[in-house]
């Protein structure tokens, strides 16, 4: 039962990546529009204040703001698509339709009960959604409808009706069912949402009241959940719902710390506060500085004969962490060889959040905590963001990670990259071929990168026990996830040693292989080979 629950949560968390994936680009557009129109920058570069530039950057702000102003419907459609394995288009259409039914029914019930207010909507927990006045259920409304759409796809997609109604069978039946479910959801929310919102508010107040300790526990737990793939669900709840805090800016209430960030960006002159970045600021310290220190420690403790190869791999992984905030290549490197190092890393991450809070260092981003986001959202908004503490806290954490990791690696002889013949790096494709004498086909013989991936996809099917042993295939940002019937026949060593995975772990009956940005490609290729819906 425990494994089933964890598996469901993990699947739910991965599905969040579908709607969340659009936010980095939307956030960058919003950040550029806001950052390049700031008074300080315009004074330094007057050209940015000209009418044509103001028009261009105004378009940026409107475009980015349009995404963050409509997250509930985006989550309803995107999460339904992410959850569904079949008829994804039907799932998205059904969720979109269901969401509009949901808010209209809620409005109808509230109006009938005389509960709609005519002014000061925010203080009464109400807002206008597409011009319709409802309770401010925010992203929770989208999540509710997406789950109903997924449930409907799963249970009614193959329904058979009497011949007179056969036109409505299959995919056509699903939107009808979702509409009925959405009517029920709208009625229920109109009746019970104030009580639910009150409970969520109390939890949010409790988390925020913990101050530095709340930041510490969030930073540590978020890292600890990464190996299990459960961090997506936690992060999404904190980013887009009231659990991550709320703020009222110019009469509009924003829930979740990413929504709050976007709300401040959209309202020139609104300041950022420490509480707004309580559950985010520490990430910059960990991803730009801390893990880089850990990588340097692994390099310095590697054997001399392996350092050239180890350095190249660790530098590449460090650059990914520094620039974009993608940390899994580095984290999984020491997780697989020394889980104790990962526990230390999680604890240090929590302390980074703690220190950022007590020093009143304010730093934020929309998605990802790398150098690019740090400059875009913080440096360009210096008049509103107190990010300067990062300049001295970050180097301290680089040294802290370096000395602790170096001591632990040498003390316990952990086989981190470069400290054994087998572990000289992150097991790149080239390394694996050189080690096992596998010759790559030339491009003239069809050995293109695309063909290599197709060949590897076929081999991945084989090492996972073949078609009959594979139940499902999925992927998140960096991991290929394959559910199997019998995991004892999966050749995990082959996946890392011959098929160029950076590492392999398992969660229940799911085998997770680290392939970085190629994970999605392998997912599609394998599903295509197995005849699964793509």
d(CA 515, CA 504): 10
3-state DSSP assignment of residue 462:
helix
d(CA 281, CA 357): 8
Token code pair at residue 383: 């008049």
d(CA 247, CA 261): 10
d(CA 366, CA 383): 19
d(CA 499, CA 479): 14
The secondary structure element, H or E, covering residue 366 is none
480 DSSP β-pair partners: 475, 513
> C-alpha angle 41/45/49, rounded to 5°?
80
Number of Cβ atoms within 10 Å of the Cβ of 4? 10
The active-site residue, picked from 314, 476, 480, 490, is: 476
Token code pair at residue 371: 């150098």
Q: Which residue, among 473, 459, 484, 463, has the nearest Cα to 519 in the 3D structure?
A: 473
Q: Around 486, how many Cα atoms within 13 Å sit in the side-chain half-sphere?
A: 8
Centroid of chain to Cα 36: 27
d(CA 470, CA 384): 52
Instruction: Supply φ then ψ for residue 268, to 5 degrees.
Output: -55, 135
Token code pair at residue 29: 């557009």
d(CA 366, CA 373): 8
What percent helix, strand, coil does the chain show, rounded to 5? 70, 5, 25
Q: Where are the beta strands (DSSP E) in 82-181?
A: 126-129, 132-135
Token code pair at residue 492: 């995990």
The DSSP output letter for 149 is H
Q: Are 461 and 526 in contact (CB under 8 A)?
A: yes
189 catalytically annotated = no
Q: What is the largest CA-CA distance in the chain?
A: 78
- Alpha helices by DSSP H, listed for 328-446, are 328-337, 339-358, 371-373, 390-412, 429-436
d(CA 439, CA 345): 38
Q: Around 335, how many Cα atoms within 13 Å sit in the side-chain half-sphere?
A: 21
Q: Are 339 and 260 in contact (CB under 8 A)?
A: no
d(CA 170, CA 166): 9
Q: Are 38 and 381 in contact (CB under 8 A)?
A: yes
Q: Which residue, among 408, 302, 389, has the nearest Cα to 347 in the 3D structure?
A: 408
Catalytic residue annotation: 476
């Amino acid at each position: 039962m425990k494994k089933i629950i964890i598996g469901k949560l993990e699947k739910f968390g991965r599905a969040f990546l579908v709607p969340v994936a659009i936010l980095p680009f939307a956030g960058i557009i919003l950040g550029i529009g806001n950052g390049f129109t700031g008074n300080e920058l315009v004074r330094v570069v007057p050209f940015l204040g000209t009418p044509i530039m103001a028009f261009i950057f105004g378009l940026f702000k409107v475009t980015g703001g349009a995404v963050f102003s409509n997250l509930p419907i985006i989550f309803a459609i995107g999460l339904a698509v992410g959850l569904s394995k079949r008829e994804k288009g039907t799932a998205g259409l059904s969720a979109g339709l269901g969401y509009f039914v949901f808010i209209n029914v809620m409005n109808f019930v509230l109006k009938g009960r005389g509960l709609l207010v005519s002014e000061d909507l925010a203080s009464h927990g109400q807002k206008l959604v597409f011009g319709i006045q409802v309770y401010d259920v925010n992203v929770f409304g989208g999540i509710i409808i997406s789950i109903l759409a997924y449930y409907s796809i799963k249970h009614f997609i193959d329904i058979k009706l009497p011949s007179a109604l056969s036109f409505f069978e299959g995919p056509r039946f699903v939107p009808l069912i979702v509409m009925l479910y959405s009517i029920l959801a709208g009625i229920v929310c109109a009746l019970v949402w104030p009580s639910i919102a009150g409970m969520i508010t109390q939890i949010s107040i409790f988390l925020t009241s913990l101050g530095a300790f709340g930041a510490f526990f969030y930073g540590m737990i978020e890292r600890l959940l990464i190996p299990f793939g459960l961090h997506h669900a936690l992060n999404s709840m904190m980013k887009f719902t009231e659990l991550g805090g709320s703020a009222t800016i110019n009469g509009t209430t924003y829930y979740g710390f990413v929504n709050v960030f976007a709300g401040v960006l959209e309202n020139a002159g609104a300041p950022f506060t420490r509480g707004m970045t309580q559950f985010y600021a520490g990430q910059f310290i960990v991803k730009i500085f801390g893990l880089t220190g850990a990588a340097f420690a692994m390099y310095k403790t590697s054997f001399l004969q392996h350092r050239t190869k180890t350095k190249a791999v660790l530098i590449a992984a460090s650059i990914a962490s520094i620039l974009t905030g993608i940390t899994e290549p580095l984290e999984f490197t020491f997780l697989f060889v020394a889980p104790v190092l990962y526990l230390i890393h999680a604890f240090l991450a929590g302390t980074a959040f703690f220190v950022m809070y007590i020093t009143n260092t304010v730093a934020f981003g929309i998605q990802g905590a790398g150098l690019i986001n740090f400059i875009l959202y913080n440096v360009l908004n210096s008049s509103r963001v107190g990010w300067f503490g990062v300049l001295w806290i970050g180097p301290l954490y680089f040294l802290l990670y370096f000395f602790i990791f170096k001591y632990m690696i040498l003390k316990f002889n952990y086989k981190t990259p470069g400290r054994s013949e087998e572990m000289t790096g992150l097991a790149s494709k080239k390394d694996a071929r050189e080690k096992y004498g596998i010759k790559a086909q030339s491009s003239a013989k069809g050995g293109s990168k695309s063909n290599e991936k197709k060949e590897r996809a076929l081999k991945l099917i084989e090492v996972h026990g073949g078609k009959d042993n594979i139940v499902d295939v999925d992927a998140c940002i960096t991991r290929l996830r394959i559910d199997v019937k019998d995991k004892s026949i999966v050749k995990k060593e082959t996946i890392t040693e011959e098929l160029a995975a950076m590492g392999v772990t398992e969660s229940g009956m799911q085998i997770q292989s680290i392939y970085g940005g190629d994970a999605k490609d392998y997912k599609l290729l394998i599903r295509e080979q197995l005849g699964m819906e793509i």
